[in-house]
Amino acid sequence: MATNGSNGTRATGPRCVALVGPFQSGKTTLLEAILARSGAIPRQGGVEAGNTVGDASKEARHHRMSVELSVATTNFMGDVYTFLDCPGSVEFVHDMRAVLPAIDVAVVVCEMDEKKVPQLQLILRELEDQKIPRILFVNKIDKADAGVHDVLKLLQPASRTKLILRQIPTFSGDLISGFVDLALERAFVYKEHAPSVVVPLEGDAADREKTARFSMLETLADHDDELMEQLLEDIQPPRDKVFDDLTRELRDSVVCPVLMGTATRANGVLRLLKALRHESPGIAETAARLGVKTSSDTVAYVLKTQNTTHGGKMSIARVLAGQIGDGTTLLSAEEEVGRVAGVFKLLGQNSEKRGPAALGETVAFAKLDKAKTGDTLTAGKQAHAAVAKIEAYTPVLAIAISAKERKDDVKLGQALNKLVEEDPSITIVHNAEAHEVVLWGQGEMHLRVATERLSDRYGVAIERRQPTVGYRETIRKGIVQRGRHKKQSGGHGQYGDVVLDIKPMPRGAGFSFEDKITGGVVPRNYIPSVEEGVIEALKHGPLGFPVVDLHVALVDGSYHTVDSSDMAFRTAGRIGVAEGLPQCQPVLLEPIHLVEIVCPSEATAKINALMSGRRGQILGFDTREGWDGWDVVRAKMPEAEIGDLIVEIRSATAGAGTFTFKFDHMAELTGRTADQIVAARRAAE
Ligand SMILES: Nc1nc2c(ncn2[C@@H]2O[C@H](COP(=O)(O)OP(=O)(O)OP(=O)(O)O)[C@@H](O)[C@H]2O)c(=O)[nH]1
Ligand SMILES: [Mg+2]
Atom of ligand 1 nearest to the CA of 265: 31
Mean pLDDT calculated for residue range 213-237:
93
* DSSP, res 254: S
**Cα of 191 to ligand 2 centre, how many Å?**
24
Q: Which residue owns the Cα nearest ligand 1 atom 2?
A: 140
The answer to whether 6 and 242 are in contact (CB under 8 A) is no
Atom of ligand 1 nearest to the CA of 109: 19
Tell me: the pLDDT tens digits for 36-47? 999 999 999 999
Atom of ligand 1 nearest to the CA of 87: 23
Among candidates 70, 64, 11, which has minimal Cα distance to 35?
70
End-to-end CA separation in angstroms for the chain: 71
**Cα of 105 to ligand 2 centre, how many Å?**
18
Q: Which ligand is nearest to the CA of 24?
A: 1
**Cα of 116 to ligand 2 centre, how many Å?**
15
Which residues sit with their C-beta closer than 6 Å to ligand 1? Answer: 23-29, 46-48, 65-66, 87-89, 109, 139-140, 142-143, 262-264
Atom of ligand 1 nearest to the CA of 261: 31
Phi, psi of 630 (to 5 degrees): -125, 155
**Cα of 29 to ligand 1 centre, how many Å?**
6
**Cα of 643 to ligand 2 centre, how many Å?**
28
**Cα of 597 to ligand 2 centre, how many Å?**
27
Q: Which ligand is nearest to the CA of 120?
A: 1
**Per-residue model confidence (pLDDT) at position 3:** 34
Tell me: the pLDDT tens digits for 418-430? 999 999 999 999 9
**Per-residue model confidence (pLDDT) at position 490:** 67
Q: Which ligand is nearest to the CA of 139?
A: 1
Q: Which residue owns the Cα nearest ligand 1 atom 8?
A: 26
Quickly state the pLDDT bin for 435 (edges 50, 70, 90). confident
**Per-residue model confidence (pLDDT) at position 4:** 35
**Cα of 106 to ligand 2 centre, how many Å?**
15
**Cα of 359 to ligand 1 centre, how many Å?**
33
Quickly state the pLDDT bin for 7 (edges 50, 70, 90). very low
Residues measured by CB to lie within 5 Å of ligand 2, the ion: 27-28, 66
Q: Which ligand is nearest to the CA of 113?
A: 1
Residue to mutate, 25, 29, 93, 110, ligand 1, most ligand atoms under 8 Å from C-beta: 29
d(CA 193, CA 349): 24
Atom of ligand 1 nearest to the CA of 262: 31
Tell me: the pLDDT tens digits for 371-390? 999 999 999 888 999 999 88
Distances (CA, A) of 99 to 18, 303, 511, 513, 613: 8, 5, 49, 54, 39
Task: Return mean pLDDT, the chain.
Answer: 93
Q: Which residue owns the Cα nearest ligand 1 atom 17?
A: 26
Atom of ligand 1 nearest to the CA of 143: 1
**Cα of 19 to ligand 2 centre, how many Å?**
9
Q: Which residue owns the Cα nearest ligand 1 atom 6?
A: 26
Q: Taking 80 as the threshold, does the pLDDT of residue 494 lie above it?
A: yes
Q: Which residue owns the Cα nearest ligand 1 atom 24?
A: 65
Atom of ligand 1 nearest to the CA of 23: 25
All residues at 6 or more sequence positions from 93 whose CB lies less than 8 Å from its CB, including other chains: 87, 425, 442
**Cα of 28 to ligand 1 centre, how many Å?**
7
**Cα of 685 to ligand 1 centre, how many Å?**
49
**Cα of 27 to ligand 1 centre, how many Å?**
6
Q: Which residue owns the Cα nearest ligand 1 atom 26?
A: 47
**Cα of 21 to ligand 2 centre, how many Å?**
9
Tell me: the pLDDT tens digits for 559-604? 999 899 999 999 999 999 999 999 999 999 999 999 999 999 999 9
Phi, psi of 623 (to 5 degrees): -75, 150
Q: Which residue owns the Cα nearest ligand 1 atom 1?
A: 140
**Per-residue model confidence (pLDDT) at position 169:** 93
Residue to mutate, 23, 28, 190, ligand 1, most ligand atoms under 8 Å from C-beta: 28
Atom of ligand 1 nearest to the CA of 88: 25
Cα torsion through 574, 579, 580, 583, rounded to 10: 150
**Cα of 627 to ligand 1 centre, how many Å?**
29
Among candidates 114, 123, 110, 211, which has minimal Cα distance to 154?
114
**Per-residue model confidence (pLDDT) at position 2:** 34
Distances (CA, A) of 685 to 434, 540, 588, 682: 12, 11, 17, 5
Q: Which residue owns the Cα nearest ligand 1 atom 14?
A: 26
Q: Which residue owns the Cα nearest ligand 1 atom 21?
A: 24
All residues at 6 or more sequence positions from 69 whose CB lies less than 8 Å from its CB, including other chains: 84, 85, 86, 87, 95, 96, 99, 303, 304, 316
d(CA 304, CA 40): 22
Residue to mutate, 31, 47, 91, 110, ligand 1, most ligand atoms under 8 Å from C-beta: 47
d(CA 513, CA 510): 10
More confident residue, 39 or 150: 39
**Per-residue model confidence (pLDDT) at position 381:** 86
Quickly state the pLDDT bin for 225 (edges 50, 70, 90). very high
Among candidates 414, 412, 411, which has minimal Cα distance to 400?
412
Tell me: the pLDDT tens digits for 263-296? 999 999 999 999 999 999 999 999 999 999 887 7
Region of residue 220 (phi > 0: left; psi between -120 and 50: alpha; otherwise: beta) = alpha
| % of the chain residues with pLDDT over 70 | 98
**Per-residue model confidence (pLDDT) at position 163:** 96
Q: Which ligand is nearest to the CA of 109?
A: 1
Q: Taking 70 as the threshold, does the pLDDT of residue 328 lie above it?
A: yes
Q: How many residues are there in the chain?
A: 685
